C-alpha cells in the first residue's frame, strides 16, 4: 500500500489527500526527504511546477534522476507547463533552467538520464535533443558519458512522402564530474556463455581453443623467437584463465595477423604500443557477461492500455539507468513523472523514488498504477 505522507500544513505547503492511502503534496521541504529516507520503497508524489518544487529540495540529496520532459510543440498538457512555448529557444531555456536545479539536488556521485524527442518546424528537423545537450555541457558543465539511441523498432503513423520515418529518440547520461560517480556495470551485464572442455582441451564460450593462434604464432615472420615464446606462454596463461572461470572469452591480436581494433598511433593507443613492443595483445571478455551497448531496441509503451497519457515511455527504458547508477539504498527522482513509469521501475527494483508533475490527474493515475502493481 502507498503510505500517507505526514507533511505539516502551512501557507507554503498544504497536503492534498485524494483518497486514502493515496496522497499528492503541493510543495516539498526537508520533511519530504525525511519521509522518503525513513520509509521503504513507497514513492513520494509531489504536485506542482517542476522548477518550483526542485528549488525547495535540499542540495545533493538525490542519487539518480531519470526523466522524459514534455517534447516541444507536441501536445497540450493539463495545467500548461513546459513544451507549450511559442518558440523552441524558449523551450530550451526553460528546460535547461530545470536541469540546473537537477544538478544542484543531485549528489556528486549521482547520474542524470534525459530522454528527449525532436520536433519539426516548417519541415525543418530542429535537432532539439542535441541543442539541449550542448547547452548543458557548455553552459552548466555537465559531463556527457553516453548518448543512447532508443530504437523504438516501430514508429508512429508517418504519412510524409519526402523524408524517412522517425523511429528513434535520444537518451543522454550526464554526471557532475568525470570521476567518482556511482556506476555498477555488473548489474546490467548479460549472462555470459560458458567455456567447455572438448577432447581434453579448453574451448571458450565462442569456440576459441587457441589452436589457430598457436599456429599463427609459430609460423609468424613478424615475431622474433623470443616474441614467439612469450606469446605462446601468454596464450597458455589465457587458456588457464578460461578454464578457471576468470574470464569467459578472449581474442588475441598478433602482429600482422589480425585486424587491429585501435589507432596505429602509439600516442593515441596503448594497444598499438603493446603490439609494437610485444607483438601481441589480448581482448578479454568480462566473466560476468557483456555490457549493453548504446542502441536500445525497446518497443514504445502500449498506449492502448494508457488512454490517459499518450506519451508514456516504456518500463524497460528505465531499468538500465536505475540498476547501473542508483545504489540500492538510493533515491530516484523524476521531475516530469507523468503516469509514473520511472517510479514503477524504481519500486520494482527496491529503490526509493520521488515523482513531480504539474498534472494532478497524472499523479492520480500514477498512484493507481503503483497500487495495482502491488496486487
Residues 211 and 360 in one domain: no
Q: Is the peptide bond before 306 cis (omega within 30 degrees of 0)?
A: no
CATH number for the domain harbouring residue 36: 3.40.50.150
Residues 297 and 280 in one domain: no
Query: Does residue 9 lie in a domain region?
Result: no
Report the distance separating Cα 210 and Cα 168, nearest Å. 41
Query: Does residue 3 lie in a domain region?
Result: no
Residues 241 and 150 in one domain: no
Query: Does residue 83 lie in a domain region?
Result: yes
Q: Which of 285, 301, 317 is the last residue of a domain?
A: 285
Residues 163 and 241 in one domain: no
Report the distance separating Cα 375 and Cα 367, nearest Å. 13
Q: Which of 229, 251, 285 is the last residue of a domain?
A: 285
Residue with cell 531496441: 297
Query: Does residue 2 lie in a domain region?
Result: no
pLDDT at residue 340, as a whole number: 93
- Looking at the structure of the chain, the number of domains it has is 2
Please tell me whether residue 304 adopts helix, strand or coil conformation. Answer: helix
Q: Which residue range forms the structural domain that includes residue 358?
A: 14-188+293-374
DSSP designation for 291 = P
Angle at 189 between CA 274 and CA 258, to 5 degrees: 30
Residues 103 and 211 in one domain: no
Q: What is the pLDDT along the chain (375 residues), one digit of tens a residue?
A: 333 333 322 222 233 322 222 344 443 444 555 555 555 567 888 888 999 999 989 999 999 999 999 999 766 555 667 888 989 999 999 999 999 999 999 999 999 999 999 999 999 999 999 999 999 999 999 999 999 999 998 766 677 889 998 889 999 999 999 999 999 999 998 765 555 556 556 566 556 778 889 999 999 999 999 999 999 999 999 888 888 878 778 888 898 887 665 555 545 456 777 888 899 988 887 777 778 899 999 988 754 444 554 456 899 999 999 999 999 999 999 999 999 999 999 999 999 999 999 988 888 888 888 887 765
Residues 322 and 263 in one domain: no
pLDDT at residue 37, as a whole number: 56
Report the distance separating Cα 127 and Cα 3, nearest Å. 42
Residues 256 and 226 in one domain: yes
pLDDT at residue 355, as a whole number: 93
Residue with cell 616474441: 227
Rounded to a whole number of angstroms, the distance between the first and last alpha carbons of the chain is 9
pLDDT at residue 233, as a whole number: 95
Report the distance separating Cα 265 and Cα 285, nearest Å. 24
Residues 161 and 69 in one domain: yes
pLDDT at residue 204, as a whole number: 61
pLDDT at residue 243, as a whole number: 80
| Cβ pair 66, 319 in contact under 8 A | no
pLDDT at residue 245, as a whole number: 76
pLDDT at residue 218, as a whole number: 93
Q: Which of 285, 303, 322 is the last residue of a domain?
A: 285
Residues 180 and 269 in one domain: no
Query: Does residue 148 lie in a domain region?
Result: yes
Residues 207 and 242 in one domain: yes
Report the distance separating Cα 2 and Cα 369, nearest Å. 11
Residues 31 and 127 in one domain: yes
- Mode of pairing for the β-strands spanning 22-26 and 44-47: parallel
pLDDT at residue 211, as a whole number: 85
- Count the neighbouring beta carbons within 10 Å of the beta carbon of residue 160: 10
Residues 81 and 173 in one domain: yes
Query: Does residue 5 lie in a domain region?
Result: no
pLDDT at residue 88, as a whole number: 94
Amino acid at each position: 500500500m502507498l503510505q500517507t505522507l505526514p507533511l505539516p500544513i502551512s501557507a507554503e505547503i498544504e497536503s492534498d489527500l485524494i483518497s486514502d492511502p493515496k496522497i499528492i503534496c503541493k510543495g516539498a521541504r526537508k520533511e519530504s526527504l525525511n519521509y522518503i529516507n525513513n520509509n521503504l520503497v513507497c514513492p513520494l508524489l509531489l504536485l506542482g511546477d517542476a522548477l518550483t518544487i526542485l528549488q525547495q529540495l535540499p542540495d545533493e540529496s538525490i542519487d539518480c534522476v531519470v526523466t522524459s520532459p514534455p517534447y516541444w510543440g507536441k501536445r497540450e498538457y493539463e495545467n500548461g507547463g513546459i513544451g507549450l512555448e511559442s518558440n523552441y529557444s524558449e523551450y530550451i531555456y526553460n528546460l535547461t533552467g530545470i536541469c540546473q536545479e537537477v544538478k544542484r539536488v543531485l549528489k556528486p556521485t549521482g547520474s542524470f538520464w534525459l530522454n528527449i524527442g525532436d520536433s519539426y518546424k516548417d519541415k525543418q528537423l530542429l535537432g532539439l535533443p542535441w541543442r539541449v545537450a550542448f547547452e548543458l555541457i557548455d553552459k552548466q558543465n555537465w559531463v556527457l558519458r553516453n548518448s543512447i539511441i532508443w530504437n523504438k523498432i516501430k514508429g508512429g503513423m508517418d504519412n510524409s512522402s519526402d523524408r524517412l520515418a522517425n523511429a528513434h529518440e535520444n537518451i543522454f547520461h550526464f554526471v557532475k564530474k568525470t570521476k567518482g560517480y556511482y556506476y555498477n556495470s555488473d548489474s546490467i551485464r548479460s549472462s555470459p556463455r560458458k567455456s567447455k572442455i572438448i577432447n581434453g582441451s579448453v574451448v571458450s564460450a565462442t569456440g576459441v581453443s587457441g589452436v589457430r593462434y598457436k599456429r599463427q604464432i609459430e609460423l609468424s615472420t613478424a615475431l622474433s623467437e623470443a616474441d614467439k615464446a612469450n606469446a605462446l606462454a601468454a596464450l597458455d596463461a589465457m587458456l588457464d584463465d578460461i578454464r578457471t572461470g576468470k574470464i569467459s572469452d578472449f581474442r588475441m591480436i598478433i602482429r600482422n595477423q589480425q585486424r587491429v581494433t585501435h589507432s596505429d598511433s602509439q600516442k593515441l593507443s596503448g594497444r598499438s604500443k603493446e603490439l609494437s613492443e610485444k607483438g601481441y595483445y589480448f581482448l578479454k571478455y568480462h566473466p560476468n557477461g557483456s555490457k549493453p551497448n548504446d542502441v536500445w531496441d525497446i518497443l514504445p509503451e502500449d498506449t492502448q492500455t494508457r488512454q490517459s497519457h499518450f506519451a508514456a515511455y516504456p518500463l524497460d527504458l528505465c531499468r538500465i539507468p536505475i540498476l547501473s547508477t542508483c545504489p540500492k539504498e538510493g533515491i530516484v527522482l523524476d521531475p516530469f513523472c507523468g503516469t509514473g513509469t520511472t517510479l514503477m521501475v524504481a519500486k520494482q527494483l527496491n529503490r526509493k523514488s520521488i515523482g513531480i508533475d504539474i498534472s494532478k490527474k497524472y499523479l492520480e493515475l500514477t498512484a493507481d498504477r503503483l497500487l495495482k502493481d502491488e496486487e
